[in-house]
Structure 1
Amino acid sequence: MNDLDSSASEVFEKAQYHLKLWLEESGGTRLDVKCTGLGSTGMIRFWMTMDGQKKSVRVSECVGSAVTGLRGAQASPERGAWFYSHLWVELPEGVLYQESDWMCVPDTESDADLGAYKTELDRYPRDQEFIPDWLRDKVEQWRLERGRMVAEYVAEMEEEYRIEGGKYCGSSHLRVW
């Protein structure tokens, strides 16, 4: 079973298991995880507390992978996906806690291409009342600046498909937008 086939609670339990196990093996007392996401991109950072000192750490691939699946698994058709989430687990309890924000401007926003905002709403649709103004503004900006280019590209691909008699052979040039 992959994360796409798993329920949000199963993905959360998997993350809890891997974070707790990694923390126990590393000798720390607390592990904090800060996650941001926008469209198909995101960033995850880990901090471990050991002997009262908090330091940035690298975790194993399976731990990182367990956390990566949370955003998509926790998305809902009404609210979309969260943009920021803080997770933490402390020993000896070993319970994973999470606080998430579905409306804030994500930290990755300054690096994001306009297409990331459009991808966000395509990938994680939201009811109108759950679309923050900053996201609505960026998607409108994308529509004004890039929407026509994308429509022209799609029309060109459709025309090529029609000319080739239903056999798409691919365009001989690459467009980047």
Structure 2
Amino acid sequence: MTDAVAPQVFEDTREQERIIAEDLWSLRPVGEEWDVLEYVRSQTGGRGRSVAKVYLNGEEVDRKGTSSAVIIAVKMLRNLMYAPGKGAWFSMSLRVTPEGDGWEADYNYTDKPIWELGEPSADSYAQELYLYPRDEEHIPDWFKEEMKGATWTPGSD
């Protein structure tokens, strides 16, 4: 990435994060105690899952639905943050607190994401490498295991 491109990618990334943070803020419990709202997304290939969680004292107390604008922002984030040869993130989280003074986002490029509703198929992992190619040294061992038996090829979905 060139120095001229880096500031724009940073600004574009922050804009997409802002969209997610504002959506979370609109979901905040009113008249109830809470200490963190967290949006979590796991993604591989065409398979993605998200959830917005409400926490109080470190315990999940509720879940909320997010808007379609959040899904669009997440897709933009993955594309913006893709690093050729290194890949795209597998999961991300974004948190806001009751102070409403910003957000904190984390991106996971190496660890296996948590899939609450069942694991993706081997084909989802093959599709991931097609959409966001990684050099061999940037493909985690767990990913290689999950991809065993894949039959997906471009145009087969």
- TM-score, scaled relative to structure 1: 0.63
Which residue does 1:136 correspond to in 2? 144
Which of 73, 86, 92 matches 1:85? Answer: 92
Contact 1:20 1:89 in 2 (8 A): no
Would you say the 8 A contact 2:24–2:52 is kept in 1? no
Bigger Rg, structure 1 or 2: 1
- Asked whether the 8 Å contact 1:35–1:45 carries over to 2, the reply is yes
The equivalent of 2:103 in structure 1 is 96
Q: 1:76 offset after TM fit, Å?
A: 0.9
Q: Report Cα offsets for 1:103-144 as digits up to 9, x if no partner.
A: 2222349532221111111111112211111222344532xx
Quick check: 1:40 aligned with 2:42?
no
Equivalent position of 1:120 in the other structure: 128
How far residue 98 of structure 1 moved from its aligned partner, in angstroms, is 1.6
Deviation sequence 1:81-117 (CA, Å, 0-9, x none): 1112221122424322122221222234953222111
CA contact (8 A) 1:40 1:120 kept: yes
Q: Secondary structure at the match of 2:133?
A: coil
- Unmatched runs of 5 consecutive residues or more in structure 2: 1-7
Residues 144-165 of structure 1 deviation map (CA, whole Å, 9 limit, x = unaligned)? xx37xx69xx9xxxxxxxxxxx
CA distance in 2, matches of 1:89, 1:15: 11
Which one-letter code corresponds to 1:111 in the other structure? E
Amino acid at match of 1:107: I
Q: Please state which structure has a larger fraction of its residues in helix.
A: 1
Q: Secondary structure at the match of 1:103?
A: coil
TM-score (normalizing by structure 2): 0.70
Higher mean displacement: 102-111 or 35-44: 102-111
Name the aligned partner's letter for residue 37 of structure 1.
Q
Deviation at 1:75, TM superposition (A): 1.5
Q: Deviations over 1:28-49 (max 9, x none)?
A: 7632011111111111110135
How many residues were matched structurally?
Answer: 144
Instruction: Tell me the distance in 2 between the aligned counterparts of 1:137 and 1:80.
Output: 17
Alignment-derived partner of residue 158 in structure 1: none
After TM superposition, the structure 1 stretch with the greater mean CA deviation from structure 2, 28-37 or 73-82, is 28-37
CA RMSD of aligned residues (A): 3.4
Indicate how the Cα distance of structure 1 residues 141 and 20 shifts in structure 2: closer, same or farther if over 3 A, else same.
Answer: same
Asked if the contact 2:27–2:64 (Cα under 8 Å) also holds between the matched residues in 1, the reply is: no
Q: Is the 8 A contact 1:23 1:30 kept in 2?
A: no
